[in-house]
Structure 1
């Protein structure tokens, strides 16, 4: 592959308001900034990369310590510091370039935020727009036109599948009305992602989580679907690291058994606070690691603790780091799903490419992805109109899933076709 030299950088952002307070990790969002960068190379190529900023996901302590807007501003400053660091650099793959700059950037991100114990996910989120732009530049320089062509050799086996169908995890936040959940089931959704870890003390959290599961399961337990081999609807749970220990999670799972919900649980995402090192192989269900995996070392540590699935978040923690984690999952034959960050429609396609490329989820025999922007953004219709192929069959949910065809795989879901809307964010030079 060619050596690529970066000769120009630029950045911008767009604030997108949410329809309502969006709660997870014990906090609430009201807006999400769309971080957009422009990179040019010595050979005359250029690329535009995007990311949805989520300070609450990146570092919930930072989010709670300042205003929502200031937290977003700090992340945008971090992105620009990273752009400055790569300007003038030469690289062969984005992975190599990010590996080179992350240690120093992490130190600088701590200075920018004033938080010495900054969660490195904050930095990964700040780097995601740059990473996407680097991959598109890499593709342009090397005449690559599909997502599969773009994957470097060491990671090709891990991302070699072509799932023709991807189940959509329908997200259930803390305050979603039960009527909306029932409506989703009637519209064909068959995998439901339940946000656990309600705000409050651990005891309050558990009580609210249990009550919420009861009302959800009562509403869904008589529903069935033709999309799963068993005809059952399935649940995943995501506590975003709110549970202190296994003892408390066992109480939640015991309640799930008591009400008949346990057999519907596919997996439980990231239940524990990050410093928890308890072995989870005796939980009776798949426990999946998400935020706690930053590096390959973290992934191996989670495997040693009995974690049986990985949650990939290429749209939040960079495609570069995601390839590494997906490769470890492949080598150890554990399943992966792709989780959302309430991203914009074009970033949904970046996430969908990964969900299509990993091995099918056992028991469902298809990929799994979360996407919830349509239910959370106030201007989703306008945002969707900026998608290169907004009316394509594969760009829209059908009975709770995405159905992918040859057109999808030929153009990577449109990720290589950056709309003029986003190009217009940057002055022509």
Structure 2
């Protein structure tokens, strides 16, 4: 048994190069969190970033950025205090207790009713620290055991395509530069709110205009890594659309301009409270923040969703494993999306993504990573990577090349 003797927790506020626009709003900074857990012999760290706008847009809007971040960190801090003196054998054992306690604290002490994803995001650094302490206690340095991944797949990709993020304010020049660098799949945020009045007609018109601008730049770029032979598009609405009819208007427009065949994913077209059947949409529709557990995963499959964005770096590895098992059993496409995480969290995400099959429309695995695009201090953050000079840490022509060093070292996650 591993008994937790001491807990520590802290955060830093990382500045962004520019406001991060998605989900009809903007983030101006990102809080990065570190949790330290100590037992009789070892001290282990787990980290995360707080995606408050992503995890609960309505709460973010009502509390505003600073207070929403503070409340998420308060939940993390409370769970750390709760863990002191508890014991466990395997990392997953304490998870359900942590989750229920965190939700109760949010309701009874903070007086908020957050979405489940908000709670999961708050638990990420604790879940990671529990896993790292388990590995140190048992002298383990293999990702499969850190992530309890054994039995999920035996895949080991040798390439992962980098997915950069195109937000509302990513410049057309930046998009062209990414294409010129070899990127073969672009994640495009839709669901804009140009006048901050939540007008759905304005949103659709803005999304059409933006899609046309992007397609005009990218339409001639080819790729050997996609089934279409051209660079692929991954549209992420973050739950902003209200009806199937409005989604279809966007997709009809995509057909009109020649962009439809390039779209390999349409993610979260509807809010998680809008339980619409999407089986009539002719694309692979993906769920992300609306999937919090196995029950949600099964319901989304029943509603016609054909892909899940897995986020071990944003919803905990524990929950990600539960969802991944159901998805793979039901032949659902799975891939790892980003939450603008730090370099070492990228390695955790990359380890997970490298063990998943390629999605429909792609010939190789994929992973979203947009920290380099958005953090002001990305280069300083990369300097702390223990294997920063190995080529698997940097995309080459838009591709992460995963060699034996990557798998033998698990991307350096045990070397911090």
Equivalence for 1:164: 158
Distance in 1 between the 2:371 and 2:146 partners?
Answer: 26
Distance in 2 between the 1:362 and 1:282 partners?
Answer: 17
After superposition, residues 11-410 of structure 1 pair within 5 angstroms as: 11-42=9-40, 44-116=41-113, 118-152=114-148, 155-199=149-193, 200-410=198-408
Distance in 2 between the 1:365 and 1:225 partners?
Answer: 10
More deviation, 103-112/200-209: 103-112
Question: How far did 1:157 drift?
Answer: 2.9
More deviation, 256-265/352-361: 352-361
Alpha-carbon contact 1:74-1:112 (below 8 Å) kept: no
Distance in 2 between the 1:256 and 1:90 partners?
Answer: 54
CA RMSD of aligned residues (A): 1.3
The Cα offsets for residues 336-377 of structure 1, whole Å up to 9 and x where unpaired, read as 111111111111111111101112223423221111111111
Question: How far did 1:66 drift?
Answer: 2.4
Secondary structure of 1:145 counterpart: coil
TM-score normalised by length of structure 2 = 0.96
Unaligned stretches of 5+ residues in structure 2: none
The Cα offsets for residues 26-58 of structure 1, whole Å up to 9 and x where unpaired, read as 11011101101100113x122011101111112
Question: How far did 1:62 drift?
Answer: 1.6
Unaligned stretches of 5+ residues in structure 1: 419-429
TM-score normalised by length of structure 1 = 0.93
Distance in 2 between the 1:47 and 1:77 partners?
Answer: 21
Distance in 2 between the 1:10 and 1:20 partners?
Answer: 31
Alpha-carbon contact 1:124-1:316 (below 8 Å) kept: yes
Question: How far did 1:112 drift?
Answer: 4.4
